[in-house]
Structure 1
Amino acid sequence: MDALKWMKTDEALNAHLGRMIRQAATLELYLEQTVKVLCGGPYGALLISGESTSRVIDACRALVKVHHALTDEWREEFNTVLSDAKQAFERRNRYVHGAISWQGEVAVPGNSRSRRLKLEAEFVPLDLDDLVDLTSELNRLTLATGSCLRAALDGFPDHLAEDYSDD
């Protein structure tokens, strides 16, 4: 890869990686707030304090399962968002856990990280199109989680009713 193309690729990856990380952090915050609201008391913060995103999603799923005010429609919507969020965060982890490195004669950009009980570092090529798609997916999930959070704050109104609006 020539120097100019390498610099443009590196710059684009850094910009999109930053956008993706920012969007993932926003989604994580919304999920944490949702757990706190669903918990209905001061213990929500304690429940997720210091926990990983996957544990926050698991806590949210457990609360959705037992929350008395949720209709079946809201429960289904929450569970869909939580399943999609879990997958999106697993994709995110491939980009954020490890060091950016380049491999091969054409200097393919990727992420290198040590894996347990393996001598060689694992190299995963970075895909700019996938990174852009992941950022869009995290944005979609942030909006969907925000809608669920708003519904929780509003006491889970019938979201199919004509008079309900999340404006």
Structure 2
Amino acid sequence: MSDEAQLSPHLDGLPILRSEEDMEAIQKRMSSLVGEVARESATLENHLRQLMICLLDSKYAAVVAAGLGASELIDMCTALVKINREVTDTQRAECRANLATLKPLFAKRNQLVHGQWLPEHVLETEPLPDRALALVSKRRMAPTHVDISFEEAEELAYDLNRAGSEIFAWICRSLLTQLRAEQVTDAFP
């Protein structure tokens, strides 16, 4: 018997799987969406860092904001906008409303970016998937399965982009002078 006949799934009772090309296309689509979400979240995080710098209004603010993660930036900006005397109550409320929407976006982002994406194989008789299952593991917790459609991933990238644009637009409307302020970023000699 030839090697080809021995490996044929229909001869040994195993189900026939979709072609490697089909599955590779699905994996590429998932990877593209994960990359898009990662890129948009990085841009949003950069806008948050800029917001913190403007709210601190110090030439050393860039050093203080450097290296903070998204959650820390959101918390710090929320605290700073609450006490900043250079913004109006209306501006303060708008900024706080924008900031309040961000943690759920970053939580979804983390599931998408840090999850192990499945399926790796689909039966030939099944349609190609339009969603994926992420195996997400958090600190000191058992892994959980999160089902995310490609459409939901596209919406998340869009929502992250929109949120970043709103944060930056708020900075430009409310703290333009601080946005233009020079920052000390070089290490002391």
Q: Provide TM-score, normalisation by structure 2.
A: 0.71
After superposition, what is the alpha-carbon deviation per residue over 1:43-82, rounded to whole angstroms, capped at 9, x for unaligned? 4234333222101000000110000011111111101110
Instruction: Report 1:95-110 matches (<5 A).
Output: 95-102=112-119, 109-110=132-133
After superposition, what is the alpha-carbon deviation per residue over 1:21-46, rounded to whole angstroms, capped at 9, x for unaligned? 11110010011011011101034234
Q: CA deviation at 1:11?
A: 1.9
In structure 1, what is the Cα distance between the partners aligned to 2:118 and 2:143?
11
In structure 1, what is the Cα distance between the partners aligned to 2:158 and 2:144?
26
Structure 1 residues not aligned, in runs of 5+: 157-167
Match of 2:159 among 133, 137, 145: 137
Instruction: Report 1:1-167 matches (<5 A).
Output: 2-3=18-19, 4-102=21-119, 109-117=132-140, 121-154=143-176
Higher-RCO chain (CA-CA 8 Å, sequence separation at least 6): 2
In structure 2, what is the Cα distance between the partners aligned to 1:111 and 1:65?
37
In structure 2, what is the Cα distance between the partners aligned to 1:93 and 1:86?
10
Higher alpha-carbon Rg: 2
Q: What is the identity, as a one-letter code, of the residue corresponding to 1:76?
A: A
Q: CA RMSD in A?
A: 2.5
Instruction: Quote the sequence identity (%).
Output: 26
In structure 2, what is the Cα distance between the partners aligned to 1:29 and 1:72?
25
Q: What is the identity, as a one-letter code, of the residue corresponding to 1:16?
A: L
